[in-house]
Amino acid sequence: NAGVTQTPKFRILKIGQSMTLQCTQDMNHNYMYWYRQDPGMGLKLIYYSVGAGITDKGEVPNGYNVSRSTTEDFPLRLELAAPSQTSVYFCASRLQGKYQPQHFGDGTRLSIL
């Protein structure tokens, strides 16, 4: 039972490069989320999706894009990497329903140099 799987675990990018952080879940969850975690801070919501083909912005969406073509996958795209995007990124998913908890992946640690 894999749960939420994120790849890669670590990545170093140069300023201006682009990359896609992958997230897949095998629990048939409709709702998926991307967060970033900065040192000493809680998690901030970047984007979320309530189902295939439906995405919406969270608290800190600037510099990121997402897509949701299937229930299982929710990739996060950085088009022009900037040092301010150095962070740990977490993907999460949950069942639809009022009191359902979110299930998290192990994170991707990204450094922009």
- Which residues in this chain contact other proteins in the complex, by CB under 8 A? 4, 31, 33, 40-45, 48, 50, 58, 90, 92, 94, 98-107
- Name the minimum Å distance from CB 59 to other proteins: 9
- Name the minimum Å distance from CB 30 to other proteins: 9
Between 15 and 50, name the residue whose CB sits nearer to other proteins.
50
Between 85 and 107, name the residue whose CB sits nearer to other proteins.
107
Residues pairing with 110 in the sheet = 11, 87
Query: 83 and 112 in contact (C-beta within 8 Å)?
Result: yes
| CA-to-CA separations, 109 to 11, 37, 46, 79, 112, in angstroms, rounded | 6, 10, 15, 17, 10
